[in-house]
Amino acid sequence: MGKFSILIFDWDGTLADSAGHIVSSMQQAIAAMNLPPRSDQAIRELIGLGLVDAMQRLFPELDVDDVLRLLGEYRRIAPGSMAHEAPLFAGARDALEQLQAQGYLLAVATGKSRPGLNRSFQAHTFLKSMFFTTRCADETADKPDPLMLRQILEETRLQPEQALMIGDTDYDVGMANALGMPSLGVGCGVHEPGRLLRAGAQAVLDNVGGVPAWLAAR
């Protein structure tokens, strides 16, 4: 297994190819709620953060509670508009199965809400049993605060150096850095590889399909 005992994965942009749908859904919601327009890139930049933090950054001139209330109302009147479940990236399932078979503990640390992650597990039923534990932004602190990683370490009784955080944003890398935890970037999601390396990722792979080989080469 090498030096790591647990591998902690981000979800959106890392395991699931969801960035395009998230941007499209948010643009539909912004138009329907008559909120100030925002560019696709501005929305894409915030994927991976918790909803409260993302809306504070996207609409700093508005009261975040008002924005969240409008989002809740939009979801109520158009329940299918933001509920689509994105496919996994090619190779993700095979990589997770290999890593689990090799004895690694697997975990998820995501900016999704718990209901959102549960919907993803309902769409990809084979995945849920692979993960020893999961943490979502609505039950802990938002990224890049490292609290969700600290909680995973406490639950598994492991040290930061025994864990590897794998994600597509510098929010993922940043929260790992805060604990002295190594991190690995993937270039298939939101932030470009150079940004992940500058943030402190040990390496950037094309996607999570390359994780088993990267670990085996260490």
Angle ∠(88,74,119) on CA atoms, nearest 5: 30
Q: Where are the beta strands (DSSP E) in 10-118?
A: 105-110
Task: Please say whether the beta carbons of 47 and 15 come within 8 A.
Answer: no
Q: Give the C-alpha separation, 151 to 147, whole Å.
A: 6
pLDDT tens-digit map of 127-148: 989 999 999 998 999 898 999 9
6-18+86-216 maps to which CATH number? Answer: 3.40.50.1000
Q: Is 115 helix (H, G, I), strand (E, B) or coil?
A: helix
Residue extents of the structural domains in the chain: 6-18+86-216, 19-77
pLDDT at residue 78, rounded to an integer: 59
Q: How confident is the model at residue 207 (pLDDT cuts 50, 70, 90)?
A: very high
Q: Give the C-alpha separation, 2 to 84, whole Å.
A: 37
- Which residue reads 């969240």 in tokens? 68
Give the gyration radius of the chain's Cα atoms: 17
- How far the first Cα of the chain sits from its last, in Å, is 10
- For residues 39-68, average pLDDT: 89
* Of 28-37, 106-115, 155-164, highest mean pLDDT: 155-164
| Global pTM value | 0.87
pLDDT at residue 158, rounded to an integer: 97
Task: Please say whether the beta carbons of 182 and 192 come within 8 A.
Answer: no
pLDDT tens-digit map of 55-89: 999 999 999 899 888 888 777 765 555 556 789 99
Task: Please say whether the beta carbons of 48 and 167 come within 8 A.
Answer: yes
Q: How confident is the model at residue 54 (pLDDT cuts 50, 70, 90)?
A: confident
Share of the chain above pLDDT 90, in %: 67
Q: How confident is the model at residue 94 (pLDDT cuts 50, 70, 90)?
A: very high
- Averaged confidence pLDDT in the chain: 91
Q: Which residues pair with 133 in a beta bridge?
A: 107
